[in-house]
Structures are given as C-alpha cells and as structure tokens.
Chain A
C-alpha cells in the first residue's frame, strides 16, 4: 500500500453520512486480543514480537481478508504521524519500538493493529451513529481471524489482556460527537460529570488521554468485564440520543436567542479560514468547528460537511507535510495550512 495514495482522500468515516451525522461524526469499536502462547508485549523479546507479527500476518492472509498490510516499524516518523492523524494507528503504536504493523481495509473503515499494547487490536469505524452495524462487522472479522489462531482466554475472566482494564470482552465501544453548542453554552462539564457517574469515559479526538479539540469528544465504555458486548453497546447507545438532544436544544436556543451573534461568529470563522495567510492548527480546529455547526444550522450554504470533516484531518501537521512533499517547521506549516485552506474553500461548493 502506498501512503501517498491516501493523502488526497478521506476515510469513509469522514463522509458525514449515516444517522445523526450532523452531531455523530463516527461510531467505532475496538477489540483487544492476545495469543495464548506468547507473553504480553511489554515482556516479549524482539524475536517474540517478530514471531507474533508473522503469526498474525499469516492468519490475515489465510483468512483471505481484503486488507493492506503496512510494516509500521520501517515507516519514517512522518508517515507514522500521518497514520495517527487519520486515526488508523494509536499514538502508542507510533511511539512503540520493534516489529509491529497495521492492516488497513478499503475506505479505511477497518484497521488491525499488531503489537500495540496487546498482540492484536481490531478497530472498525463507520460514519454516523451505527454501533450495531459496526459490531456486526467487527464480530465477523474477529471470528475470521480467530479461526486461524488460539487466543488467551479464561472461562471466568474472558479474553486476557495486558491491562486489567480491558479484560473480559476486550471491547471499547465509542462514538465521536461534535458538541460545539454545549461547549459554547458551558454545559459540557455537566454532561461529562453525568457520563462519568454512569462509568463512561470522555476523550479527545486523538484517543485516550488527549485533549479535546475542535469540540469533538469521544464517549466510550470503561467496563469490559461482566457484561456482554451487546449489553455494553446498548448502554452507550441508550445515552447517545440524550446527548444529541442536549446539543440540539443548545443549538436551538443559540439560534433563537442570539441569531445575529451566532451568524456573525460563524461567518467570521468562515471568512478567516478563506482568507488567512498563516494559521495555527489550534485556531483552524476552532474555526472549522464553528463553520461545521454553521452549515448544520443553515447559516452557511455553499460548503459541504464532508469537506469540513476532511479539513479537520488534512490540516494536521503530518498531512500538510505529506501534501507539500517535504518536512516543514511550525511557521512554514502555518503558511502552508492557510494556503491549503484558501484553495479548498475558494470556489464555493467543493465536494471532492
């Protein structure tokens, strides 16, 4: 697989299709699995890691899956960062050492990480609120891979994982939500506190422990043991519509009570993105978030959601450098970012 081919495209999860996609950017599920006959990664020698990688590569080939394998260990730092920005590998996988890789499915819905925190991490993403579909897909994929191997499993504790926080189902069920109105009206902390009380975690766009940006938040389960996968999916699925309705109420209130103020804010954001000559990543995220909400509220009508979704990713540092075809320092990146934004936003409706 050639990474440069990915540079000009976006994954399916950015398409802005699927139920509730004005607020739910995407649904995602990951499963953690380990081989029964090897130590976990932090105790595995380089040789053992190479063996684990080989076992999985053979299994993926034998299972006849439509996946392209990337040897992450031999990738330069910039390419690894590029995969992180696209949500195809984790930061931990990027920063790790030794034999490791990722197998990526068509449209980037599927990524299978080998030798991350666990021997195997399977991830499936899909745009919009579609957890049952995602579960069906990942469950089938898990079955297909498992037919080739024997996993560490105990009848009492389920799938055994390197960290006890994942043991049991090894499942992390998440949705990525765009919540600008709850942020602006300062109600977001209240929502987070309520979620923490029912044992759900809130994280930023780039996964566990990172800061939220562009008003995107990932809500996911923490419990993995003692409930079935479908119960855990239902727990999350039951809560998401409530958050969506809070966000919609906050948007409605903003547009009813302060239409001019909101319209001004959205238009200025759009104006800056279309005309700036140097712009930081942080400011870009902030302004794109306003623009995204503006489109959803009908305040901007000459721009498509998929374009905005894509810009969140394509204006990240590694993406800009891949687009330019050379490494750039911060100042040059800010200039390149502004120029890229101007070109993508210049001619009104832009759907590519």
Chain B
C-alpha cells in the first residue's frame, strides 16, 4: 500500500529525512506539502491582524521617494510620519490632524471616501454631535420640501432654528 501525505489525504510522493536534535526524522509528503516543507512560506506563522493595511499604506505612501513629510512629528505622541509609514499604526488620535495632508489621499485610496457618516457617540463633544444633527435635519428639510410636505418642513425648520440658537 502506498503511503499517504502526512498533511493531507493525497498519496505521498516525497520521502524526506531530516536530522532534528541529532535524530533522523522521516517525513512523507505530497508534491505541494513537500514544497512547503522545504520552502516554508515566509508568512507561515500567521500574519498579525491588519498587515494587509500595512501593505496598503506602504504601497501607497512607500511608492514615492522619502519626503519632507516623513520628518514631521506629532507634538502629542512624538511619532514621525516615517514611523507610521513603516508600522502602519498611528500613535494617537491627534495624528489624524497633524498628518492630515498626508492621510487624506491615503483614506480616499482605502475607503473611497473621506467623510464619516455612521454612528456618533453620545458623549462626543456636544457641538460636533449637534453639527451632525444639523446636517441630518437640513437633509430632511430638503427632502420634505421636494415632496411638498410643508407641515413636516415647518416643523424641521423650527428644530433647526432651536439648535442654531443654542450656540
């Protein structure tokens, strides 16, 4: 009977003897697993989360020559843009401001968009939440007017005025 590959159900076509800790050890592999055994893939021990991201960032930011922006650093956490380029990780929330000019094209490349339109935390700085609320109300107002729903439009207008006067 033919021997089976140790790593899968295919027949073993390679029989390899390695010396491990001074003792010979036999392996039986199919073509594919023999290749993997002799030449393990570089990323075999599982790439950590988000290395796809590092590649993306390096691909984008790394394709150009080193620039003046690389030396820029964040006054809060001291990370330089070069360090970010190499690791793919930012140092603190403020970096989104500090490296804004460099990050915006990157964000557009990754997400196709540069403006958040999802959930807003209740504890976000009060005015920023009010800002998004205003944007939403104005959109609703536009739609109400287009639909000739003047009753709703009047109510929305009052709500908007109320928020605007708060400030």
Q: Do A and B come from one complex?
A: yes
User: In whole angstroms, how far apart are the Cα atoms of A287 and B47 in the complex?
Assistant: 26
Return the contact of A229 from the options B115, B118, B124 (Cβ within 8 A): B118
Q: Which residue of A lies closest to B4 (CB)?
A: A283
Q: Which residues of A contact B91 (CB under 8 A)?
A: 39-40, 42-43
Are the C-beta atoms of B107 and A146 separated by less than 8 Å? no
Q: How many residues of A contact B (CB 8 A)?
A: 62
Q: Is A36 an interface residue (CB 8 A)?
A: yes
Are the C-beta atoms of B89 and A42 separated by less than 8 Å? yes
Q: Is A163 an interface residue (CB 8 A)?
A: yes
Are the C-beta atoms of A146 and B122 separated by less than 8 Å? yes
Classify chain B's interface size: 35 or more
User: In whole angstroms, how far apart are the Cα atoms of A146 and B122 in the complex?
Assistant: 8
Pick from A11-19, A153-161, A252-260 the stretch touching chain B. A153-161
Main secondary structure on B side of the interface with A: loop
Are the C-beta atoms of B49 and A162 separated by less than 8 Å? no
Q: Which residue of B lies closest to A199 (CB)?
A: B112
Are the C-beta atoms of A151 and B132 separated by less than 8 Å? no
User: In whole angstroms, how far apart are the Cα atoms of A116 and B88 in the complex?
Assistant: 15
User: In whole angstroms, how far apart are the Cα atoms of A151 and B93 in the complex?
Assistant: 10
Q: Which residues of A contact B50 (CB under 8 A)?
A: 117, 163, 165-166, 208
Q: From residue A53, how far is it (CB to closest CB) to chain B in Å?
A: 18
Q: Which residues of A contact B112 (CB under 8 A)?
A: 199, 223, 226
Interface contact tally, CB-CB below 8 A: 169
Q: Given A147-B123, A150-B123, A165-B52, A227–B93 Cβ distance below 8 Å?
A: no
Are the C-beta atoms of B111 and A149 separated by less than 8 Å? no
Return the contact of A163 from the options B7, B90, B93 (Cβ within 8 A): B90
**Chain B, range 85-127, C-beta contacts under 8 Å to A:** 87-93, 96, 103, 106-107, 110-124
Q: Which residue of A lies closest to B54 (CB)?
A: A163
Are the C-beta atoms of A147 and B96 separated by less than 8 Å? no
Q: Is B24 an interface residue (CB 8 A)?
A: no
Are the C-beta atoms of B118 and A158 separated by less than 8 Å? yes
**Per-residue CB proximity of B28-65 to A under 8 Å, as 1/0?**
00000000000000010011111111001100000000
A-B CB proximity, top 5 nearest: A226-B113, A158-B116, A209-B47, A152-B93, A43-B91
Name 9 interchain pairs, CB-CB below 8 A, sorted by A: A40-B92, A143-B122, A155-B131, A159-B119, A163-B90, A165-B50, A224-B111, A226-B116, A228-B118
List residues of chain B with CB under 8 Å of any chain A CB.
6-9, 43, 46-53, 56-57, 76-79, 87-93, 96, 103, 106-107, 110-124, 128, 131-132
